[in-house]
């Protein structure tokens, strides 16, 4: 990894006002072959993200000038970049709010550097897999045209990473698109939260299935006419979720 050229190395923006944490992250990520850029406050983080367009962002919640949740929202309004939020140990509300605002992942402080690096790799692998995806969906019995999945009122263009519902383009994050795609490839088949965590997020979440629930809720707000009575993305109570074919 250390021999990887700068041109090929992924760039990670580290946003934290605690310099010892930044130093640890810089050292370990650069050792893995990544390029790093750093911001110590929220305003600088937004400016750097929009200007330099990093491949992934590590974002602390407690920041001067602009808090991490606001930073996440501003960046996600302009960039579809994976954001991994760093939260205080017991701040469950921060995790949920972060996911509501479009964060792709979170890890609690104090964290294991090995786990954090593994999360970074998993999120970058997922982005790369989507970008290079050329999956054969011909075994599915639903209607398909070229690199598209069509299930009822839902249409996914796998080349453009574009979703249409009733002909209208819906703006989804990469993670939301991946969840919807995974379910749409097997309509009417109930998929457990645990399976979604493994297949879409790419690693074990040790039972924290609320991550899936929050993401599904965000998707429903965008694709359903009435989120209290969804017609496309359906919950099988106590089991998981599925896409209705009609």
The correct CATH number of 148-243 out of 3.40.640.10, 1.25.40.10, 1.10.10.10, 1.10.3720.10 is: 1.10.10.10
pLDDT reported for residue 60? 95
Domain ranges of the chain: 11-131, 148-243
Q: Report the topology of domain 11-131.
A: Rossmann fold (3.40.50)
> Which has the closest alpha carbon to 163: 75, 175, 81?
175
Per-residue pLDDT for the chain (246 aa), expressed as one digit of tens each?
444 446 679 999 999 999 999 999 999 999 999 999 999 999 999 999 999 999 999 999 999 999 999 999 999 989 989 999 998 766 677 777 788 888 888 888 888 899 899 889 988 887 877 666 544 444 444 444 468 999 999 999 988 888 999 999 998 888 889 999 999 999 999 999 989 988 887 765 554 678 888 899 999 999 999 999 999 999 999 899 999 987
Write the Ramachandran bin of 40: left for phi over 0, alpha for psi from -120 to 50, otherwise beta.
alpha
φ, ψ for residue 21, nearest 5 deg: -70, -45
Element (H or E) spanning 234, and its range?
strand 233-236
């Amino acid at each position: 990894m250390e021999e990887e050229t700068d041109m090929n190395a992924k760039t990670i923006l580290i946003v934290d006002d605690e310099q010892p944490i930044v130093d640890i992250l810089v050292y370990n990520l650069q050792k893995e072959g990544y390029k790093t850029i750093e911001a110590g406050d929220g305003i600088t983080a937004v400016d750097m993200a929009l200007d330099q367009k990093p491949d992934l962002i590590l974002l602390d919640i407690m920041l001067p000038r602009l808090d991490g949740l606001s930073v996440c929202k501003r960046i996600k309004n302009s960039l579809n970049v994976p954001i991994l939020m760093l939260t205080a140990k017991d701040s469950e509300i921060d995790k949920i709010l972060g996911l509501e605002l479009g964060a792709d992942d979170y890890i609690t402080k104090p964290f294991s550097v090995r786990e954090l690096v593994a999360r970074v790799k998993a999120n970058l692998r997922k982005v790369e897999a989507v970008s290079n995806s050329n999956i054969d969906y011909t075994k599915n019995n639903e209607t398909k045209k070229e690199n598209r999945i069509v299930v009822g009122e839902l249409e996914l263009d796998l080349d453009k990473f574009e979703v249409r519902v009733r002909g209208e383009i819906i703006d989804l994050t990469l993670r939301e698109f991946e969840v919807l795609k995974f379910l749409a490839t097997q309509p009417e088949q109930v998929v457990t939260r645990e399976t979604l965590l493994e297949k879409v997020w790419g690693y074990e979440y040790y039972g924290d299935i609320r991550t899936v629930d929050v993401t599904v809720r965000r998707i429903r707000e965008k694709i359903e006419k009435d989120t209290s009575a969804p017609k496309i993305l359906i919950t099988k109570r106590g089991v998981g979720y599925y896409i209705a074919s009609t």
